[in-house]
Structure formats: C-alpha cells, structure tokens
C-alpha cells in the first residue's frame, strides 16, 4: 500500500512536527504527542481548559480544533489507538487551569479508560476535572451495551463547549451543557472504500465495485449493513430519515448540519451531498440554520462521508455563532441568511452587421445541424482518443456544444444573413464549449463571419474559412506539425481555398474532407508540441490527435451532407 510516509511508527510524531512547524497558532508540548495553543501560557486561569484527543488517523481532528473558541489541547494516540493515561495526565497538568479541565472523549472503551484514569489521577493531585463522552453514531442507537460510537458530531461538541468555556462556564456547567447537546446529536456514515493503516498490507474490508457500507465508524471497521451504491440524493434521503428517526427531530426545529468527508472523498462530492441533505432536511421541515461541509473527522483515506444533524435549542445558538480561530473549522457568520445565488448581468447579444436583408439560411443551417449530429455521434471516439493523450473531456465538451447549438437553432434562424448567423453560432459555441477547443472553435467561427466581406459564394466561404484558420492559429499559436487540430484544419482549408473557383461545392468539400483525414493520420507519427498531449512527451507519439479527429468528423459531415443532398436531387 502506497503512502507518503517514512516508517509507520513515526507517522504521528512526524505529523505533529509538520503541523506545528507550519502553524503560527499551534505548538507541541515538549516531545509529547500533545498539541496546544501557541501563547498558551497567557491564557486566563479563570477559563476551563478543554482537552480532547484520541487515536490518530482522523485529521484534522483533533489537533486542527485547538485554538480560541475551541480546544486548549489535543492528545494524540497512535493511529486508531487511544493515547496513554500518562500523556492525558501530562496534558491536564500542563493545560488545566484553576477553573478546571473538561475532557471531551469519543465513546470507545480505550479512550474512556485512558482519559478516565487520567482524570481520576489528576483529581488526586487537586485538579478539578470533568469528562464528557460523545456518542453520536445513529447506526448503533441506544440498544447495545457498548453504546454508540463517538464520530463526527464530536466536532460540534468542541464548538459548543469551546464557546461556553470562553464565556466562563464551570466544568459542571459545561458537562451538563454538552450532555444536553449530545442528546440531540446524531451522525450516520457511508463508506465507499475502506481505509488502510500505515504499514498494513491491505484495507480492513473489501467492497465490490457497486457496493457501499452503511453505518460505519471511523476506524476502518465495516458498517452494520452493506448495500448497492445509491445516488447522492438517495444517500441523503436515507441518512436524514435515519437521523430524524433516531433523535425524533420534529418539523419547525432549528438544526445544525455537518457533511463530513472520511478522507478519500473529493470536496465536490461533499458539496453534492450537502445540497441533497439540505433538500431532505427541508422536506422534513427542519430549519438547517448552521451548515458545514468538509473533512472534519476522517478515517485516513477512506472514501465516503458522514452526515451529522444536531438539534439547536435557542440557548445553543450563540455558542454556534461565536467566532473561532482554529486551523480546521471555517469561520462562518451564522445564521446563513443570504440567498445562495445572485442575478447575473444581462447576457450580451450578437453584434449584428448593418446589412439587413433576408438571405435564405436554411441550407447553411442544414449543414450546421449535420455537423452537430456528427459530433454527437463521435463523442465516444473523441472521448477515448482524448483519454489516451489528454484528459478525456473533448468528446463530452464538443457534444455539449453541439447539443446547445441544436437546442438554440431557432436563435440562429432569427438572423437575417450568414455573417450574423456565424456570429450567433460563435456565441453559442463560446457559451457551451469549454476547454481549449471552446475558444478556438468560437474564434474560428467568428472568422467565418467575414463571409460578409467576401460574399456568400463558394469563393467567399473559402476565403472566410482561411480567416477562421488564421484566427485559430493566432490564438492557439499552433502550426502544422504541432499535433493539434491545426494539422487537420489547415490542409482542409487549403483544399477549399485552392479549389475555390470553378469547382462544385460537393467536390470541394470532399477534397477538404480527405485532406483533413490525412492530416489526422499524420498526427500519429508526431510528438505533440502543444495541448495536453505535449505533457506526455515522447509517449504521445503513436496516437492520433483527438482535436484533429474532430475537425475530420466536421469536414466529413459537411461533404456527406452536401454530396448526399446533391445525389438525391
């Protein structure tokens, strides 16, 4: 199993070194696995010290929550293993104040015992110590003897208790406040891929390509059930339904919601899940007043997420709203009241030529439609080719553009001449095609609008095509031989241009289509000099350029449509 580490036994120690060397807010306590606030010595003795921690592997928990508004210290054990009694005791001795210490512990036997014994020993030394156990895992409910596990909801406990400690609550007050909060706090997790512990040769469990684990903890253990992969919307529906059932949330209540990544899930997926979770909460008529999504309590590299919902009674609101200054908890100004979208400025319209007139655009539109259809059909081929030498998006990119143009055909047909038609087409392409191709095609098509000056004859179009090619070469800087779309486009345009007079349009386009096809084939011999293919260096040789292929598809569609149409006549 590949990991960026030196030796498994050094992982936690070296993580703490890196974290504290890279932070202006965190310090390490001597050589111990204890992370404390920088300037800790200035803290008032009247504020209760908050200490949390547990096994490592849940980063940014818990060291990332050390700082004003949250914890005073985090005690770190080895990966997925509770810290020792002595390390917890050292933290209490160093950080505990005259006002006392509150230990925030996730509900695992090891953590309960080590933190619990340290608390007892500290009391014999004269410290005032209270301990709260967080048990928010809805998958386990209240049935089992071991009780629920403590998972991502613990981070919200840090927030609530942190704010209450800053305002001066006593250890006993903090304890009852947390117990009150956790009685309305529930989390459920879904795993898509298990995690691997540094040094282990395989992950804790294996999932089939379409399987997920439901109701799992944060230590790489399997969940309580397994199912067939669901969409984000269905995951959100199931999660929210279980959480509502678990804590008996009822319509009209304010809740805090946290969508948490388990370490191997991209933020984009967490955003999708949050969106769906908010829809579900809305459906249950719960008011999601406090919202977070991100990696808060991970399980090494596990792919998956958890959803936490907490009941927010009136007296918790200021505690959630108080600012924090810690590395891993974002500063929001709550409650979130602003609309998530704001109106855009009015869209630009086509800068039409002065010429009025009513050119018949149906033939031109027929050709453009045929090109769009051909590009849609070519999507799988272009995608596959771009996967080999690029990032695989070209097929979808051009397909999206082609579909957009087809959908907006009525706008094109509102134009009164071919030049304005091309300007409108360029705008449609610019709006819908991204990547490198988008601006190149858009500017190339704008070159075709110069047909206004050249006249909408075979000759005029050939001259306009030459301007389009020149535009693409100017913007992209590519020449024939650089292994780009220009390798197909230039020979095709030259064929049009060289046959611009006295050649029937069908023959002219067939010659161009052949030239484009040959241009594509020639790119197989080349090493890409521009575009993403160039990042492969010599490895791009042997592959035909996808952008050039798209050009050949376009010219083939033009030739076939014109010649097919002619032969039918």
Residues classed as catalytic: 219
What CA–CA distances, in Å, run from 560 to 377, 489, 514, 557?
A: 15, 17, 12, 5
Question: Which listed range, 13-21, 81-89, 434-442, 558-566, lies at the site for ligand ADP (CB under 6 A)?
Answer: 434-442
Q: Find, among 405, 350, 347, the residue nearest to 376 by Cα.
A: 405
> Is residue 394 at the binding interface for Mg ion, with CB under 5 A as the rule?
yes
Place of tokens 């014999």: 124
Q: Is 437 in the site for ligand ADP (CB under 6 A)?
A: yes
Task: Please identify, using beta-carbon distances, which residue of 264 and 435 lies nearer to ligand ADP.
Answer: 435
For the bound state, the minimum distance from the C-beta of residue 270 to ligand ADP, rounded and expressed in Å, comes to 25
Residue 264 binding Mg ion, by CB under 5 A:
no
Least distance (Å) between residue 395 CB and ligand ADP: 9
Q: What angle do CA 186, 190, 196 make, to 5 degrees?
A: 115
Q: Does 546 bind ligand ADP (CB under 6 A)?
A: yes
Please identify which residue in the block is written with the tokens 């082609």. 402
Check binding of 415 to ligand ADP (CB under 6 A). Answer: no
| Residue 136 vs residues 75, 234, 319, 432: alpha-carbon distances, Å | 21, 22, 19, 45
Contact letters (x/-) for ligand ADP, 22-61, by CB under 6 A?
----------------------------------------
- Is residue 477 within a helix (H) or strand (E), and if so which, with residue range? none
* Beta-sheet pairing, 287-294 with 49-56: unpaired
**CB 271 → ligand ADP: shortest distance, Å?**
22
Is there binding between residue 532 and ligand ADP (CB under 6 A)? Answer: yes
- No. of H helices and E strands in the chain? 19, 12
459-488: which residues touch ligand ADP (CB under 6 A)? 476-478, 484-486
Distance of alpha carbon 500 from alpha carbon 492, whole angstroms: 12
Number of Cβ within a 10 Å radius of residue 93: 14
Q: In this chain, which of 165, 320, 394, 556 binds ligand ADP, going by CB under 6 A?
A: 394
d(CA 462, CA 496): 6
- Answer yes or no whether residue 445 interacts with ligand ADP by CB under 6 A: no
Minimum distance from CB of 445 to ligand ADP (Å)? 14
| DSSP H helices in 393-457 | 394-407, 409-414, 418-432, 437-448, 451-454
User: Could you tell me whether strands 73-79 and 34-37 are parallel, antiparallel, or unpaired per DSSP bridges?
Assistant: antiparallel
545, 552, 557, 562: residue in contact with ligand ADP (rule CB under 6 A): 545
- Nearer to ligand ADP by C-beta: 223 or 438? 438
**391 binds ligand ADP per the rule CB under 6 A:** yes
Contact with Mg ion (CB under 5 A) among 10, 202, 391, 525? 391
Q: How far is the CB of 404 from ligand ADP (least distance, A)?
A: 15
Counting contacts by CB under 6 A, is residue 155 touching ligand ADP? no
> Which one of Mg ion, ligand ADP, none is in contact with 545 (Cβ closer than 5 to 8 A by kind)?
ligand ADP
Number of residues in contact with ligand ADP under rule CB under 6 A: 23
DSSP state of 196: -
Task: Compute the distance between CA of residue 93 and CA of residue 110 in angstroms, rounded to an integer.
Answer: 21
Q: Nearest approach, Cβ of 370 to Mg ion (angstroms)?
A: 24
| Residue with smaller CB distance to Mg ion, 319 or 489 | 489
Could you tell me if 427 and 390 are in contact, meaning their C-beta atoms sit under 8 angstroms apart?
no
Q: In angstroms, give the least distance from the CB of 436 to Mg ion.
A: 7
Cβ–Cβ < 8 Å for 54, 155: no
Task: Decide whether 56 or 437 has the Cβ nearer to Mg ion.
Answer: 437
Contact residue for ligand ADP among 435, 444, 447, 468 (CB under 6 A)? 435
Residue 548 interacting with ligand ADP (CB under 6 A): yes
Cβ atoms of 99 and 45 closer than 8 Å = yes
The answer to whether 492 contacts ligand ADP (rule: CB under 6 A) is no
Bridge-based pairing state of the strands 287-294 and 254-261 = parallel
What tokens were used for 118? 């340290």
Binding site for ligand ADP (CB under 6 A): 386, 390-391, 393-394, 397, 435-437, 440, 476-478, 484-486, 530-532, 545-548
């Amino acid at each position: 199993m590949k990991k960026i580490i030196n030796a498994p036994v050094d992982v936690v120690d070296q993580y703490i070194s890196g974290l504290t060397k890279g932070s202006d807010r965190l310090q390490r306590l001597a050589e111990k696995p204890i992370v404390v606030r920088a300037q800790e010595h200035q803290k008032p003795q009247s504020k209760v010290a908050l200490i949390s921690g547990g096994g490592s592997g849940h980063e940014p928990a818990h060291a990332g929550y050390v700082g004003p508004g949250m914890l005073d210290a985090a005690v770190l054990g080895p990966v997925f293993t509770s810290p020792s009694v002595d390390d917890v005791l050292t933290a209490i001795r160093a950080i505990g104040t005259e006002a006392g210490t509150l230990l925030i512990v996730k509900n695992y036997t090891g953590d309960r015992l080590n933190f619990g014994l340290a608390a007892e020993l500290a009391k014999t030394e004269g410290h005032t110590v209270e301990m709260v156990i967080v048990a928010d895992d809805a998958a386990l409910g209240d049935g089992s003897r071991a009780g629920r596990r403590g998972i991502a909801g613990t981070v919200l406990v840090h927030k609530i208790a942190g704010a209450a400690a800053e305002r001066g609550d006593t250890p006993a007050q903090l304890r009852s406040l947390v117990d009150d909060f956790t009685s309305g706090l529930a989390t459920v997790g879904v795993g898509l891929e298990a995690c691997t512990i540094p040094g282990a040769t395989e992950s804790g469990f294996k999932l089939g390509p379409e399987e997920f684990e439901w109701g799992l903890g944060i230590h790489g253990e399997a969940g309580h059930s397994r199912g067939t992969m669901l969409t984000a919307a269905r995951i959100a529906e199931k999660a929210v339904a279980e959480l509502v059932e678990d804590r008996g949330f009822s319509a009209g209540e304010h809740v805090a919601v946290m969508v948490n990544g388990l370490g191997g899930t991209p933020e984009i997926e967490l955003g999708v899940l949050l969106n769906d979770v908010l829809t579900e909460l809305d459906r249950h008529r719960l008011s999601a007043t406090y919202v977070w999504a991100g990696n808060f309590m991970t399980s090494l590299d596990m792919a998956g997420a958890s959803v936490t919902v907490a009941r927010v009674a009136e007296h918790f609101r200021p505690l959630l709203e108080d600012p924090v200054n810690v590395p891993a908890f974002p500063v929001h100004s709550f409650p979130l009241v602003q609309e998530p979208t704001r109106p855009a400025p009015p869209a630009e319209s086509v800068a039409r030529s002065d010429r009025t007139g009513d050119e018949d655009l149906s033939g031109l539109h027929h050709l453009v439609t045929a090109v769009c259809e051909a590009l849609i059909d070519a999507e799988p081929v272009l995608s596959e080719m771009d996967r080999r030498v690029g990032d695989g998006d070209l097929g979808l990119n051009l397909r999206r553009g082609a579909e957009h143009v087809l959908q907006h055909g009525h706008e094109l047909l509102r134009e009164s001449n071919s030049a304005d038609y091309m300007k409108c087409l360029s705008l449609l392409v610019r709006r819908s095609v991204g990547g490198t191709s988008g601006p190149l095609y858009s500017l190339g098509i704008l070159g075709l609008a110069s047909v206004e000056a050249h006249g909408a004859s075979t000759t005029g179009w050939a001259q306009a095509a030459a301007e389009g090619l020149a535009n693409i070469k100017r913007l992209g800087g590519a020449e024939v031989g650089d292994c780009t779309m220009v390798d197909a486009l230039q020979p095709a345009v030259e064929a049009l241009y060289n046959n611009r007079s006295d050649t029937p349009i069908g023959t002219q386009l067939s010659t161009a289509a052949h030239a484009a096809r040959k241009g594509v084939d020639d790119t197989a011999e080349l090493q890409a000099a521009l575009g993403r293919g160039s990042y492969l260096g010599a490895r791009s040789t042997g592959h035909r350029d996808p952008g050039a292929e798209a050009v050949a598809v376009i010219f083939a569609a033009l030739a076939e449509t014109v010649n097919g149409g002619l032969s039918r006549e």
